[in-house]
Chain A
């Protein structure tokens, strides 16, 4: 009994310590993010490469997913609204659900699955290969050179791709709502504009930036936990991705609470 309670206490303390470490690491990176001296040509090169791998390479797949998901979601939402006699809320659902919730969520999932896992594995491999030691020997700051460009790329990619996803979904929604629901372009645009709020879009962009930060930072942290053994690489990726998923859920819930608090306050 005592042992079990001790075990629970140990696990709790470990979880709290890990969370605090992660937050401390996050603040360290945030502080470095606003230090101009951190950005040299090497860091810029890594940043450009990371944006290329995270955003540009994925673009064809991403655009296809946006069009397909957009058509499906708009079709389903429209059908249900017609069925329930609530088609007047079409614009509100598109702006409130598709743009502010669905687009960031799908983008974050795609980027987390593709780039988050890649970053986790990359850092873990570098750790196993002692490449991090190389950086240390040559006085290359790992936060500046490795972490900062990857995290910045994550933030930028999620913000840009999420916005792009929203634009594409809304554009495809124009075509599909016209085909499926006989909705004119003017009606569609009016419905969207009536429901669009700048505050919602700003909250959405901030949420994307926070998600972008964490879905790269967490894999980096777990990649750094790899040991010298090759077998530690999949273990670190596994833990990293599970924690990324938990972080996405937490950010989603927190953002919903924040949004509802803001709307109450306003």
Chain B
């Protein structure tokens, strides 16, 4: 019984231990524990993100690991990596060693070899480790765009400030235009009075009957007025020209604003302001157009048209 028990226990222990050792041995073999390894040296500005045991990847495959990290006398971090001989072929003299620090996740240490015909990396050489930092790179790329957006916002602010300023150029133009149209309106009323008022007509008839010279003088005066108003260098064509130019310029501002809107499409707040400004400009242009049309309707600004006196 005792011997039998001893035999069973012995068999159990031996078989189980053999099984465990076989499993561990297979794992060690597959993980390359029994393979000879080559050591390489790298240097880096910083040891941030590096650690002993960190795997080295080539094309997504683990081919080695960091075995030692040391700070040199010059303040550089000296990295010793170990790569099994079977993977040494991926380590070339022009291979690039990169420590990628992704936005999310742990850093990844990898070697990039593009030319497999170049000489093998020497164990004595010290390659430089490049750091690729996603967060900092992204910030660096965004920085100029942000600066541009800030400039555009400043310009728009200045532009809108200028438009809103009662002493600004735009306000002055609009005030002048208003004064001009007011002036025109008052002149129109004089004409109406001249044409439509019965007393005036009678006075004119009386004047015509009584004094031919007065009629001539009135005729000359009217001719002169007509020229001043409708002539090539008259006031009305000049006003129309100014207004048309104003409309054209405002149209250009509209296009510029469209471009600004496209550039700053990411900045929601700015877009809202631009849209608002654009709509204001559009409404100004429209109101000016309406004003011109109104003038056109109410005053027949054609050179050939003349007031026919009865």
A interface residue numbers (CB < 8 A to B): 45, 48-49, 51-52, 55-56, 59, 156, 160-161, 163-164, 167, 189, 193, 196, 198, 201, 266
Contacts and interface: CB of A to CB of B under 8 A. Distances in A.
A48 B6 contact: yes
Interface residues of B, number: 19
B47 interface: no
Contact of B31 (A48, A52, A55, A193): A193
Given A51-B13, A56-B9, A161-B16, 6 more contacts: A45-B2, A160-B13, A164-B16, A167-B23, A266-B51, A266-B53
A48 B2 CA distance: 9
B19 A52 contact: no
B17 interface: yes
B20 A48 contact: no
A9 B35 CA distance: 61
Nearest to A164: B16
Contacts of A167: 19-20, 23
Contacts of B19: 163-164, 167
Interface of B: 2, 5-6, 8-9, 12-13, 16-17, 19-20, 23-24, 27-28, 30-31, 51, 53
Closest 6 CB pairs of A and B: A160-B16, A163-B20, A51-B9, A52-B5, A193-B30, A56-B12
A160 B23 contact: no
A156 B16 CA distance: 11
| Secondary structure class of chain A's binding surface, majority of residues | helix
B17 A48 contact: no
Given A193-B27, A196-B27, A48 B5 contact: yes
A88 to B, nearest CB: 13
Contacts of A201: 24
Contacts of B12: 51, 55-56, 59, 160
Contacts of A266: 51, 53
Residue from A48, A189, A201, A266 whose CB has the most chain B CB atoms within 10 Å = A48
Nearest to A51: B9
Contacts of A55: 9, 12
A160 B17 contact: yes
